[in-house]
């Protein structure tokens, strides 16, 4: 009985430590102690804040949602705001469950937006009354173009801060081996989406071989996100397959815009060449895990 009581008292304090790379651990610690919340560029030179760079590092970890959940539990208030930005992009369902407390907070947090510093209530950073509300896959620039007259601000709930931070991350090219660089180039230029064996000889196509090589890279997830931002449409679909296996939380957030896309993508399944709607490819072949699994198991000759 005594042992049971002691365990019950100790368990709440024994929180799991997120499994992070050394670089991820350094980024986590920086955000855990963050003393300010920033936008994507600060100071006269428009420098990327170290906090945003740290957020980019955590997004590319294998289980970013776990890191952001722990950051939400143990970080400063500023750190928790970055954790919410991270969760909204990496694990939307978890974000919806966790956002409530800070949304109501009137605690003032130090801010720096561009060259302007000051303080702002945490709740206002989370959900501004005049915050823009991005649709899945929409950028801030696209929203502004669609609503040219409206004067709105960024917040976390509407996706504004997360979208701008993601742009910064997309510009941060992943560190890859020479073989990884070659694989990345193949995916960025892929002109057709396929299964794991094509043609009469059932050969493993180059993008699948490239995907297998990227999976071995320490910064595989960052490389796959880079393809999502800069690759051809077929390349983006291969990248989704990669994330399905290497970073499921990231995949679940990234796949949403593609589920609704009626754009047609060139395909080759076996010996059959054609076109399919992106939404159909995603639901039938990718989200089900069928192709991602077969890509991992494929054996190039």
pLDDT for the residue 45: 84
Tens digit of pLDDT for each residue in 164-208? 998 888 778 788 999 999 999 999 999 999 999 999 988 999 999
Q: Could you say which residues of the chain have pLDDT below 50? A: 1-14
> Percentage of residues in the chain with pLDDT exceeding 90?
69
Encoded tokens for 183:
């694989």
Angle between helices 206-215 and 178-188 (to 10 degrees): 140
Report the mean per-residue pLDDT for the chain.
Answer: 90
**CA distance to 60, 110, 131, per residue, from 256 (Å):** 18, 33, 22
- Torsional class of 159: left (φ above 0), alpha (ψ -120 to 50), beta (otherwise): left
**CA distance to 37, 86, 202, 269, per residue, from 195 (Å):** 44, 32, 10, 5
**Which has the closest alpha carbon to 114: 154, 65, 157, 60?**
154
Enter the DSSP assignment of 13.
Answer: G
Which residues contact residue 4 at a Cβ distance below 8 angstroms, ignoring those fewer than 6 apart? none
Taking the CB of residue 114, how many other CB atoms lie within 10 A of it?
A: 13
Across the beta sheet with 193-198, the strand order is 193-198, 264-270, 272-277
């Amino acid at each position: 009985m005594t042992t049971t009581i002691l365990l019950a008292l100790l368990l709440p304090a024994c929180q799991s430590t997120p499994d992070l790379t050394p670089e991820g651990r350094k980024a986590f610690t920086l955000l855990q102690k963050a003393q300010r919340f920033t936008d994507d560029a600060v100071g006269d030179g428009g420098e990327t804040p170290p906090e945003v760079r740290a957020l980019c590092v955590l997004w590319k970890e294998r289980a970013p949602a776990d890191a952001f959940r722990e950051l939400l539990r143990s970080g400063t208030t500023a750190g928790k705001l970055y954790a919410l930005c991270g969760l909204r992009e990496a694990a939307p369902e978890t974000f919806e469950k966790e956002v409530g407390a800070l949304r109501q907070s009137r605690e003032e947090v130090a801010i720096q937006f561009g060259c302007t510093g000051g303080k702002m209530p945490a709740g206002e950073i989370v959900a501004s009354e005049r915050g823009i509300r991005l649709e899945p896959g929409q950028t801030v620039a696209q929203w502004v173009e669609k609503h040219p007259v409206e004067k709105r601000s960024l917040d976390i709930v509407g996706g504004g801060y997360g979208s701008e931070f993601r742009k910064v991350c997309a510009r941060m090219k992943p560190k890859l081996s020479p073989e990884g660089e070659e694989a990345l180039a193949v995916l960025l230029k892929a002109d057709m989406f396929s299964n794991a064996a094509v043609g009469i000889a059932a050969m493993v196509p180059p993008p699948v071989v490239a995907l297998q090589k990227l999976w071995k890279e320490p910064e595989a997830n960052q490389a796959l996100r880079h393809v999502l931002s800069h690759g051809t449409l077929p390349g983006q679909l291969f990248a989704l397959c990669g994330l399905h296996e290497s970073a499921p939380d990231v995949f679940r957030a990234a796949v949403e815009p593609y589920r609704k896309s009626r754009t047609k993508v060139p395909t080759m399944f076996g010996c059959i060449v054609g076109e399919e709607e992106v939404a159909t490819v995603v639901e039938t072949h990718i989200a089900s895990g069928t192709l991602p699994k077969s890509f991992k198991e494929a054996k190039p000759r």
